[in-house]
Structure formats: C-alpha cells, structure tokens
C-alpha cells in the first residue's frame, strides 16, 4: 500500500484499479520523484537568505509532481515521463483498499470531543478491489502524423509569426494575426493527452518529423515545401565540387526559403553528425566507388525515402485510394513511380555501382522504402504491370491483425519476411518475437535457396 497515492477527489470516482508494477520500474519512479523534489528545494534555497521564505520552494510544494498516469482508448496505458507500458488484467481479488483517515483542510472535525490518538490512526474503506492488473513495456503508440496532417504550416503563416524548436516549452496559445481558425491546432500538452506514449517518446517522434512550434502550437511544415527545398538543396550540392556547410546552404537559399525551412530539411534529412560519412554509405553499397564526401551532410536512406514520398504526392498519375475506412493510400503503377523516383535522385548517386544495379532488379532499391510502400506483382519474377501504394506504417491501425489484413488485401501474394516485418515490428515490445507473433496471422513458407515468405491465413 505504500506505493498507492490518493488525491482529494479520489472518492468521486466509481472505478478503481490497482497496478501491479515490477520492482525495478517502481524504484525508478520513486527515485525520479525524489530527484525532482530535491531539485525543486535546492533551487529555492540557492538565491535566498536563511530567514526569507522561498517562493519557488513554496510553489514546488504546492505543485504536484506527476510521475505516473494512465490513459488509452482500446486498452489501458501507463506512462511515466519516458516510458510506455500496457496494463492488463491478470487475476481477480477480494482485497479492499483502505486509507488513513484524516480530516480534510476545508472540512470541520466530525466529532469535536473525539480522542485525537484514536482518530489519527483510524482507517476508512475507500473501495473494494475486484481486479488486479500488471504492466508490461511496449513501444510508444502515437498517431501524431494523423493529428497534425490537417494543420500543415505554410510559408505565409511562418512570415506572420515566429517559430521555435520543439524542445522548448510551449507557450500559451494566442490569436493568429491572420485571423485563421486555430481550433484545429494542437499544443504539445494536447498531443501528450491524445497519444498513448510518454512525453519524451513523443518529443523523439516529433524531432524525427521535423515539427516546429508556431505561436504555441506544434505544427508540421507543408510537405510540398519541404520536398521542394530538399530537391533544391540536392541539385545545388550535386553541382558543387566542394562540400558546403548547412550554414552556407541557408545563406545561399535565404532569398528563396526562410531559415526555418532549411532547419527542418536538416533535421529530417541531415546526417546525425558531420563525422558520419554519408550515413554509413560504405555498408549500404559495399562494391564500386563511394559517394563524394560532400554528401556526408545527408542521411542517404532518409533522402531516398523523402524523394519517393514526394513522387506520390505530386505525380499526376498518382491517385488516392481508401483501402479501409479511415485508412488512405496513394496508388501508382510501378513503372511510373520507378521512372519519376530515379529522375529525382542526384546524378552523381546514379554513377555509383550500388545504384546502377537498381536498373536490373528494383528489389534492392525497394529495401530503402520498407514500412512505407506496398507493392503488388502479378509475378514475383517481374515488376511489369505491378502496382505500388504509398502507405507508411504509422498510418495503419495499431492492432496487428488489422494491419496484416490490410497488407494482404493490397498484395495477396506471398510476402517476403523482411518486408512484412518492417510493418509489424513497430507494434512489438522488446520481449516479443516477430517470428512467434506473425504465425498467428500468416502461414510460413520455407523453400531451400529462397527467402522466407508468408501468406495470409485467411486465404
């Protein structure tokens, strides 16, 4: 009972759940709470005289430290500041929950003449418990792309306001000077409440998307602007002999793109550090000449993925298709996509042997697009008359069965194990194995000398 904390309004709720937490995680929560409290007190004592009360210390004592909360639609999710865990019922119990009886600060004493020594140690039954739950670590589950897709940030809006890094605290939202309805926009707090993940996991996801804070709201830059800026930067670097820096690129394009646009391009498509040559390009293309060092500015796989996504968004032959209620994909013929994608890849890249092999067998090239495209071939030996859909895994349902059903609906053929793994593994926890989970929904095919494949169990 030492790990159960009750709030003043606890007795106003009818449903109570007791969480059975493993010892290591509970210790982490306790240490984290103690560290937060200690930091708050030390900050308050640093800049005051011994005889003066500290305002910060008083505020820290009044403000509760939220170290664990539960949320979720289909299932209960428990989160601390950095981790996400799923809560599941494991057994029934006839236990009762009791709490030490204390008179509230605004309530008068029940009996004025009562013996204080007896009332201070008395207990009261708060609720009976009929179910016990346990927690298990799971990957963060968020639908941030879908939540932010309807409020993309345009250049006109950027010119009217300011933008900040997603790492900074979100200020209070105000009215926009353009008079645009901001009711559809979301703050960081709104996103935390709407997603089944911890705040730190959400921050990591937003960084990968290149999200910015504009007038207090978390926004994504319009994809067309982002892709156009990326292609312009690639064209410029391809024509240069020396490797420019990101600051030089920002200065060169300052008359065309605002600084924030180049910052987002760098965040989404740039290499993690300048010391990593071309995002380990030696491992990606083991044979033939390597790319010039000037391409070390970029993450090659991310750039290839971004260029492919831009093809689906702007190509006139692309069409939107609802593969399931609420799930939209963009469809193209494979030939149209393949030609348009190769035209956008820098010319110097296509001279590398690793890229030249794509002309003979596109299968190797499509490995860069795993978890983002679904390809249907009438024959596994050729891509003639093949169809391809742009369907990133984060737009698919969060349930494995629903996701598998959609994938096999678009491409009923046997799936390569690595291709379907890319769509399923983001839903698996660290203690779950893909090979053990996928056989519940797909039939395994092992043929000597050929890659492992799966077919739908429903067929």
In this structure, are 229 and 321 located in the same domain?
Answer: yes
* Domain boundary, last residue among 371, 395, 419: 395
Number of domains composing the chain: 3
- Assigned domain for 437 exists: no
What is the pLDDT, as a whole number, of residue 85?
Answer: 83
Could you tell me if 124 and 178 lie in one domain? no
Which domain-ending residue is among 111, 137, 163? 137
Q: What local confidence, expressed as pLDDT, does residue 64 receive?
A: 45
Please give the pLDDT value at position 179: 42
What are the residue ranges in the chain where pLDDT is below 70?
1-23, 25-26, 28-68, 72-74, 89-133, 161-183, 273-290, 353-360, 459
Look at residue 409 and tell me if it is in a domain.
Answer: no
Range of the domain at 369: 224-395
357 part of a folded domain: yes
Q: Same domain, yes or no, for 234 and 369?
A: yes
Residue 390 included in any domain: yes
Residue 371 covered by a domain? yes
Q: Examine the domain organization and report whether 158 and 215 are in the same domain.
A: yes
Q: Do 257 and 208 share a structural domain?
A: no
Domain boundary residue, one of 191, 220, 249 = 220
Three-state SS across the chain? CCCCCCCCCHHHCCCCCEEECCHHHHHHHHHHHHHHHHHHHHHHHHCCCCCCCCHHHHHHHHCCCCCCEEECCCCEEEECCCCEEEEEEEEECCCEEEEECCCCCCCCCCCCCCCHHHHCCCEEEEEECCEEEEEEECCCECCHHHHHHHHCECHHHHHHCCEECCCCCCCCCCCCCCCCCCCCCECHHHHHHHCECCHHHHHHHHHHHCCEEECCEEECECHHHHHHHHHHHHHHHHHCCCCCCHHHHHHHCCCCCCHHHHHHHHHHHECCCCCCHHHCHHHHCCCCCCCCHHHHHECHHHHHHHHHHHHHHHCCCCEEEEEECCEEEEEEEHHHHHHHHHHHCCHHHHCCHHHHHHHCCCHHHHHHHCCCEEEECCECCECCCCEEEECCHHHCCCCHHHHHHHHHHHCCCCEEHHHHHHHHHHHCCCCCCHHHHHCCCEEEECCCCCCCEEEECCC
46 in any annotated domain? yes
Per-residue confidence (pLDDT) for residue 174, from 0 to 100? 42
Q: Are residues 239 and 381 in the same domain?
A: yes
Provide the whole-model pTM: 0.74
In a shared domain, residues 236 and 379? yes
Question: What pLDDT score was predicted for residue 373?
Answer: 96
């Amino acid at each position: 009972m030492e790990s159960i904390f009750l709030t003043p309004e606890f007795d106003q709720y009818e449903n109570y759940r007791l969480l059975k937490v493993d010892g290591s995680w509970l210790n982490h929560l306790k240490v984290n709470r103690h560290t937060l409290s200690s930091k708050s007190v030390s900050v308050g004592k640093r800049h005051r005289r011994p005889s003066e009360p500290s305002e910060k210390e008083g505020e820290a004592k009044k403000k509760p430290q939220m170290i664990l909360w539960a949320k979720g639609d289909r299932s209960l999710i428990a989160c601390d500041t950095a981790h996400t865990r799923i809560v599941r019922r494991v057994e029934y119990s006839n236990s009762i929950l009791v709490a030490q009886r204390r008179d509230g600060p605004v309530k008068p004493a029940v009996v004025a003449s009562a013996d204080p020594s007896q009332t201070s140690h008395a207990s009261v039954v708060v609720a009976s418990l009929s179910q016990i739950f346990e927690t298990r670590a799971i990957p963060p589950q968020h639908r941030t792309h879908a939540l932010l897709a309807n409020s993309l940030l345009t250049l006109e809006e950027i010119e009217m306001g300011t933008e900040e890094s997603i790492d900074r605290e979100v200020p209070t939202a105000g009215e926009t000077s353009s008079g645009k309805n901001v009711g559809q926009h979301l703050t960081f707090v709104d996103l935390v409440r709407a997603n089944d993940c911890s705040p730190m996991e959400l921050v990591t996801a937003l960084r990968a998307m290149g999200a910015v804070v504009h007038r207090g709201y978390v926004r994504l830059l319009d994809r067309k602007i982002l892709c156009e800026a990326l292609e312009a930067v690639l064209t410029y670097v391809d024509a240069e002999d020396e490797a420019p820096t990101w600051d030089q690129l920002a200065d060169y394009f300052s008359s065309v793109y605002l600084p924030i646009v180049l910052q987002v391009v760098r965040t989404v498509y740039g290499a993690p550090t300048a010391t990593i040559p071309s995002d380990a390009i030696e491992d990606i293309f083991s044979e033939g000449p390597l790319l010039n060092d000037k391409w070390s500015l970029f993450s090659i796989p991310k750039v290839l993925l971004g260029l492919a996504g831009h093809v689906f968004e702007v190509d006139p032959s692309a069409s939107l298709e609802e593969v399931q209620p609420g799930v939209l994909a963009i469809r193209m013929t494979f030939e149209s996509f393949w030609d348009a994608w190769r035209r956008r890849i820098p010319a110097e890249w296509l001279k590398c042997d690793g890229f030249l092999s794509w002309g003979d067998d596109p299968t190797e090239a499509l490995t860069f697009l795993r978890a983002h495209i679904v390809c249907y071939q009438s024959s596994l030996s050729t891509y003639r008359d093949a169809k391809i859909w742009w369907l990133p895994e984060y737009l698919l349902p969060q349930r494995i069965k629903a996701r598998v059903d959609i994938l096999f609906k678009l491409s009923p053929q046997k799936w390569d194990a690595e291709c379907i793994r890319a769509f399923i593994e983001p839903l698996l926890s660290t203690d779950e194995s893909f090979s053990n989970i996928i056989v519940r929904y797909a039939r395994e095919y092992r043929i000597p000398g050929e890659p492992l494949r799966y077919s739908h169990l429903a067929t």
